[in-house]
Amino acid sequence: MNVHPGDIPTASVSELPADGLVLLDVREQDEWDAGHAPGAVHIPLGELPARTDELAQLPDDQPLYVVCRTGGRSARAAAWLNASGWDAINVAGGMKSWEAEGRPVVGEHDGPPQVL
């Protein structure tokens, strides 16, 4: 699918809602384990088409914000999701911006979480 980046709805981390945020993290398992947003849903980009049933369980009355490390994979995921009928918005700057904005990050292992 050839999508122009300007055609993908995008929001900066500072524009994200404080409450009721539905966040989909499309990074790989090792990136997720190292550090992710609390409450995010994790489906790696390559598994997205096979796992849309999990997305169907998310609230459908608000946008689905899609995040990766810096915004490239999440832009592709958002484009695919929008083409498939979802209301998806790419998070500009990804988890690197999330972390830089001081948003919380949790990990799946001992030690401080980090964004890979």
Query: Which sequence positions are flagged as catalytic?
Result: 68
How far apart (Å, rounded) are the C-alpha atoms in residues 36 and 115? 7
DSSP track, 67-116: E-SSSHHHHHHHHHHHHTT--EEEETTHHHHHHHTT---B-SSSS-----
The closest of 56, 61, 64 to 40, measured between CA atoms, is 64
Q: Which two tokens stand for residue 55?
A: 């997305």
Angstrom distances, CA of residue 104 to CA of 21, 57, 89, 94, 108:
13, 24, 20, 13, 14
